[in-house]
Amino acid sequence: MATYNWAAIVARLNKLIRYGCAPVGMKWIKTEEEFRQIPKVRIQEKHYPTCVAVGQAHQFGWTTACKFENYHANYCRGISGLFERDGKWYNGEMFNKVWFEELESSKAHNRALECVPSGHYAIVCSPVDAGKIEAPDVVVLYTSSAQAFMLFAGWQYKGYEKLEFSFVGESTCADSWCHTFNTGKPGFAIPSFADRKFGGAGEWEVRVSFTPEDLVRAIEGMEGMWKAGLRYPIAPHSLTTDVCPGMPPHYLEF
């Protein structure tokens, strides 16, 4: 199991994209025994979805968990891996005449959701530098679009691979942390209505997700880009003396 110096990683993020806080680590817990080993976890009495737990970790620095009984509906439990999705889950009734005009569209939406496999006891969300989660499965950041671009470009800096992202509609947790959990690939999402109403996502924020290993890869790539003059914040042309200051001379030959 890889170990990470999260304090140093957060410091590098702050230098490179002025992130200003710690990313949120998410850990899917299999058993109650494993859950009890995590210190000082907040369990709310009222019902709330995963996006609330992630939002509280991001905004307040809390270590918060969602267990089966915390969710308001099997819909969110099913996406998050705490419920075995059944025929009723897939019937589309929950969002029929809400997000979709007819039942078939609502059913198609549920089928399109990328869900975490069932069988988990809880999800714990905590700032990565809090020391509560030893090895997060997924790391989540709420960023501006420019910060997200720099992170993904940094990830591509060495060992280029085209990244493709989806938009599933409401419940874009499926596009971000669920996608990263399932595939190990970076995720990107425009926070959904619920993310903003319940999870507190900001009006201009987007959400990106990485495995810990890939977040480090993105940071290392951004450090390489930094040396070439590709830095955040991205200075408008009117503030620079050249199109891309810091670029090597051969750049102008293309």
In a domain, 251, yes or no: no
- Total count of domains within the chain: 1
Strands 122-127, 187-189: pairing is: unpaired
What distance in Å separates the CA atoms of residue 74 and residue 77, rounded to the nearest whole number? 5
Neighbouring C-beta atoms of residue 252, cutoff 10 Å? 10
In a domain, 1, yes or no: no
In a domain, 247, yes or no: no
Mean pLDDT value of segment 106-124:
97
Q: What pLDDT does residue 245 have?
A: 62
pTM of whole model > 0.95? no
Kindly report the average pLDDT of the chain as a whole number.
93
Q: What pLDDT does residue 237 have?
A: 73
Q: Quick check: helix, strand or coil at residue 122?
A: strand
73 has pLDDT over 70 = yes
In a domain, 141, yes or no: yes
> Please, which pLDDT band fits residue 185 given cuts at 50, 70 and 90?
very high
In a domain, 111, yes or no: yes
Span 33-61, pLDDT tens digits:
999 999 999 987 778 889 999 999 999 99
In a domain, 115, yes or no: yes
In a domain, 204, yes or no: yes
104 has pLDDT over 90 = yes
Percent of the chain topping pLDDT 70: 93
Q: Which of 98-107, 130-139, 239-248 has the lowest mean pLDDT?
A: 239-248
In a domain, 252, yes or no: no
Side-chain-side CA neighbours of residue 132 (13 Å): 24
Span 206-253, pLDDT tens digits:
999 999 999 999 999 999 999 999 999 998 876 665 666 666 766 656
Please tell me whether the peptide bond between 245 and the residue prior to it is cis, using omega within 30 degrees of 0: no
Q: What pLDDT does residue 251 have?
A: 60
109 has pLDDT over 80 = yes
Q: What pLDDT does residue 222 have?
A: 98
Q: What pLDDT does residue 235 have?
A: 84
Residue-number span of the structural domain to which 83 is assigned? 6-233
